[in-house]
Structure 1
C-alpha cells in the first residue's frame, strides 16, 4: 500500500488554496495537508477549519514556516514568482521534496541555483508544468512517439489567453508587472515551451521574438473612459473589458450568473454580488484597463530554430474570445491538428483519410487545466514515494528549466528588436 504523503503549502492563493489543497480530498489515501502559510490570516483560518490543521501549524509567511523543523514530507510552493527559489532552497535544506509552481524564477542565476542545490541536497523538485499530464497532450505525445506523422518538421502553436483573462491576470492582476513578477512569455507561456519540447523531443538552437503592449495603455483609452469601471464611465456599455461585466454579469465568469470560483475568488474569498462589488469599488480589479500600472505584453510571437533544423512558431495573444490552446504539427508522413478547446485531435497521414479523436471520451474529469492539475499532483505523489520513476513525463526542475531558458531568450530578443538569441549563450 502506498504511503500517505504529508504536505505543507506555502501560498494560499488560487493555486495553493483552490487547486492543490483540494487534492487531499481527491486522493485522501495519498495526500494530507499538515501545515499552511499565507500573509492573509483569513485564508489560513479557512484552511485550518476545512482541513483540520493544528493552529500551531498555520503561519503568516513561508519564511516563518521554514524556521520550524520539517512539518511534512513535501512542500508545495505556490507563492509569488520572485519568492520561489529562496523558499524552495530553504525548504530543501529542511528536508522537503518540492512541488514548485511555475515559473521557477525570472532570473537565470536563480534557475541555475535551484538545480545545483537540488543535486547537492538530493531532493526531488517537480515544476507545475501541468500540460504534460493532461489526457489531451498525453494522446498527442503517444501519436507522435508512434510515428503516425513521421518526423516532425514544423510546429505552429497558439495560446489564446482570452480577452477577460488578459485583463484579469495581466492588466489588473498580480502578473501585470514583469519587474515584480515575470515577463508574460515566461509566466504564462513557459507551460507551452515545456509542452512543445516534450511533445517533439527536440532541443532549441536559437530564438527570435516580437511583441508589445498594443492596447492596454492610457493613450489607447477611448474618450469618456473613467479610471474605474464603477466611477461613471461613459463608454461602459461598449467596453468588453468592463470589470462589472467580467466579474458580475458575464455568463462564463460573473458571480450573478453563479460563477463563484476563479476568477471571482481572487477578488474576495467568498464571492457574491455584494462582496465582488465592494472589491471592484475599492481594489485593483475595478480599475480601467487603460489606466493600470501594467507593463507586460498583450501579444507576442516566438520563433524557435531547433538543433535538427526543424522549426517551431508560437503565438501568445490576449485578444481572443476563448481561453484555449491550438497546435498544428507537420511531419514527413502527415499532420496533426490538436485543438484543446474542442478537445479534438485530427490525424491525417498523407494520402489517407483523416482520423478524428474525441479526447472528451477518454476521461471523466477535465477540470483544472484539462485534467492536468489532477494528473500532476498524482504523478508527483507517486514520484516522491517511489511508486513512479523519473520518466519522460515528470517535469523535474532540470527538464523544466529548458522552457525557462527559451522564454527568457525570447524576452531578450523581444526587447532587442527581434535579435536572434543563441540558446548556448543562455544555458551557460
Structure 2
C-alpha cells in the first residue's frame, strides 16, 4: 500500500473537519478524496478545503458504498445513533475505519461493528482521543514501569464545565437520550475506557452507578424567565444565558466552538448567531428544553485482584473537561491535575514531576483535545500506511470491552443494583 493514505470523510461536522485537517498539515501522508454529508454547506466547505473532485461529493454514505472502492480508509463522524450501519457497510467493502466515539448507542451494535471489522480484516480505530493525549498517556507509561507498584485504587473525575453541559447536553445534540444516547456513553465513555486501560488487562468483575438530572428542569426556572434567552428579562442574572455563551463570544471575535456549532450552514457572525438563537435550539431557556440525560453520575468498579476504581462526572464545574486523576499504588501515589503528572515515592518520600512535550501542529491547537486529536489521526494514518494495527491504541476488542462496561454501569443506575460483569446479557438502549 502507498504511504499516501486516501480517506473519505463521512460526516463533515466539526469532528470530521478536524480529523481531515491532517491532510493539510501532512499532504504527503494523507489526502481527502471524498466527502458525504446531507448538509450542502458542510460538504462544500470540506470540498473547498481539500480540492475534492465533484464526482466524489455525496449527500449520503450509501451513495459512496455503491461505488467501487476508491480510498483506503473512511473517517466516520456521523451522529452517534448513525454509526453502526456505515461502519458495517464500509468494513464489508474493505475500508479501514476511524470511528468517532461512542462506537454505537447499543451494546449489540458495538459488538456487530467489531465482529464485522475482524471478519473483514480491516483496522478499526475508535475516537478515544484521551488515550493519545501525551500527558494522559504518560500515566499509562508510569503504571507500566512499576514505579508505583501494584495499582490498588483509581480515582478519576471529569468536570464537564457549566456552559459546556448547557450547550451540548441541555440545548444540544446529546440532550435527549432517545435522540442520541445516555450521558455516560456520550460524554464519559472516554473516562471508563481510561480506567479500563489503566487497569492493565485486569477484568472488571462488578460495577455500580448512581446519577440523575439535576437543576436543568422546569421546576428550577426562575420567576419571570422567558422561553428564549433573547426575550428574557432576567437573562443577565443567568449563568447559562445564550447571550453570554454565544453572542458575547462573537462580539469578542471568537467564532470557534461552541459558536460554530450553532451556525452549521454559514460562517458565524452577529447576524447569523442572532438568527440561530431566535429560531434554533440553542437560544432556548435551559429550564424549558427537552433534555433528560444525567448531569451528575458516579461509577464504582471492582477489578480482578482487588483493584477498585471510582469515577465521577459532574456538569457544574468551572473547568471544562480538564480531568483529574489519582492512582494509589503499593509503592507510590500518582496524581494528575489536568496539566502534569506527579509521582510520590513511598520509599524515598520524594516527588517527581512528569510533563511531556505537547508536540502538535498549530492547526490542531496548542493543548488539550486538539493535541490528542492530532496524535489519534496520526496513529491511524500511520497504521494504515504501514499495515500495522499495533500503532492504534484504541483498537476493536479492548475498546469494545470498555464500551460494554459503560452499558453495564448504566444498567446498574437504572436498576438500582450492583451488576456482575459475568452476566451474559447486555443492556440494549
> Which range, TM-score by smaller chain?
over 0.9
Distance 1:228 1:245 in 2: 13
Instruction: Please give the secondary structure, in 2, of the residue aligned with 1:276.
Output: helix
Measured after TM superposition, the shift of residue 307 of structure 1 is: 1.6
Instruction: Please give the secondary structure, in 1, of the residue aligned with 2:146.
Output: coil
Distance 1:43 1:301 in 2: 37
Q: Please tell me the root mean square deviation across aligned C-alpha atoms, in Å.
A: 1.7
List alignment gaps of at least 5 residues for structure 1. Answer: none
Distance 1:399 1:197 in 2: 9
Tell me if 1:320 matches 2:317. Answer: yes
Cross-structure match for 1:222: 222
Distance 1:70 1:2, change over 3 A: closer
Distance 1:294 1:89 in 2: 30
Cross-structure match for 1:67: 66
Distance 1:175 1:336 in 2: 33
Which residue of 310, 316, 338 corresponds with 2:336? 338
Cross-structure match for 1:396: 395
Measured after TM superposition, the shift of residue 74 of structure 1 is: 0.4
Contact 2:133/2:368, CA 8 A, preserved across alignment: no
Contact 2:92/2:117, CA 8 A, preserved across alignment: no
Cross-structure match for 2:260: 265
Measured after TM superposition, the shift of residue 398 of structure 1 is: 1.4
Contact 1:172/1:285, CA 8 A, preserved across alignment: yes
Cross-structure match for 1:350: 346
Distance 1:95 1:272, change over 3 A: same
Distance 2:41 2:367 in 1: 26
Tell me if 1:88 matches 2:87. Answer: yes
Distance 1:14 1:53 in 2: 18
Cross-structure match for 1:413: 412
Q: TM-score, normalised by structure 2?
A: 0.94
Deviations 1:95-146 (A, max 9, x none): 2110000111121111111122112211111101111111111211111111
Contact 2:76/2:97, CA 8 A, preserved across alignment: yes
Distance 1:244 1:426 in 2: 49
Contact 1:405/1:426, CA 8 A, preserved across alignment: no
Measured after TM superposition, the shift of residue 386 of structure 1 is: 2.3
Distance 1:56 1:161 in 2: 41
Measured after TM superposition, the shift of residue 326 of structure 1 is: 0.5
May I ask how many residue pairs the two structures share in their alignment? Answer: 417
Distance 1:358 1:125 in 2: 30
Tell me if 1:363 matches 2:359. Answer: yes
Cross-structure match for 1:372: 372
Instruction: Please give the secondary structure, in 2, of the residue aligned with 1:118.
Output: helix
Tell me if 1:30 matches 2:26. Answer: no
Measured after TM superposition, the shift of residue 75 of structure 1 is: 0.6
Tell me if 1:309 matches 2:296. Answer: no
Measured after TM superposition, the shift of residue 204 of structure 1 is: 1.1
Instruction: Please give the secondary structure, in 1, of the residue aligned with 2:255.
Output: coil
Contact 2:29/2:381, CA 8 A, preserved across alignment: yes
Contact 2:360/2:371, CA 8 A, preserved across alignment: no
Measured after TM superposition, the shift of residue 426 of structure 1 is: 5.0
